Amino acid sequence: MFDSGGLSIKLGDFSDMKTDMTGSAIVYGTLKLLEHFNVKGHFIGLLPIVENMVDANSTRPGDILKAYNGKTVEITDTDAEGRLIMADALAYAKNYNPYLCIDIATLTGQAAKIFGSKSGVVMGNNNKLTQDIISVGNKNKERLWELPMWEEYVELTKSKIADYKNLSYGVSAGTIMAGAFLSNFVPEKANWLHLDIAGPAYNEGMPYGYTPVGGTGIALRSLVALAQSAAIS
């Protein structure tokens, strides 16, 4: 919901953090449209909705949390909270024996620095499905660009005092590292796509194309089109 950064509080103007609910809004909107268009299939949306506010019960840097799948996570930065709740949602998806898990969020500021407002990031473990979502995105004027998630990045998510750490200081590939962290929680044998839409999720300029001022709903059309296609049948 609103991302204050927690005890690792953000600096400067972060009034736009109300848009941190964008990923959940897109998942909800996707399900509503799949229902509206009577798309055949078995679709489940998981919305891990929380506030990241400071109080006496706030998570502290140095704390160790246990995730839904039983793995432990060292909290190195409370502002990397989005990936914690997304990790639990991905782990929880195991209960549905999914063929494909797609997570989507305004996850890292670095994603916006890479592409600005013109493209989101996609990472995953299935090259065909990755190319499918990129192709569908291009047709719907919702650009996505693939970043690598090599095993060397995943290794850097490991902690000396827990299974993983939620942010790896000293590793500059922040957008990739967020996806690498989440990869540890994907249900076994499930295909997976990770969409980081921090850049194009909010438009502060003039309207262009399909894009209004404010929240853009980026990737909503593409997710619905992917569900309608044979790509995930």
Which residues belong to the active site? 10, 83
CA–CA distance, 54 with 56 (Å, rounded to integer): 7
Q: How far is CA 142 from CA 56, 120, 136, 147, in A?
A: 41, 8, 8, 16
Query: What is the side-by-side order of every strand in the sheet holding 72-74?
Result: 64-66, 72-74, 164-165
Burial 94-122 (b: 16+ CB within 10 A, else e): beeebebbbbbbbbbebbbebbebebbbb
Three-state DSSP string of 65-106: EECCCCCEEECCCCCCCHHHHHHHHHHHHHHHCCCEEEEEEC
Identify the DSSP state of 28.
Answer: H
CA–CA distance, 76 with 59 (Å, rounded to integer): 10
CA–CA distance, 126 with 149 (Å, rounded to integer): 11
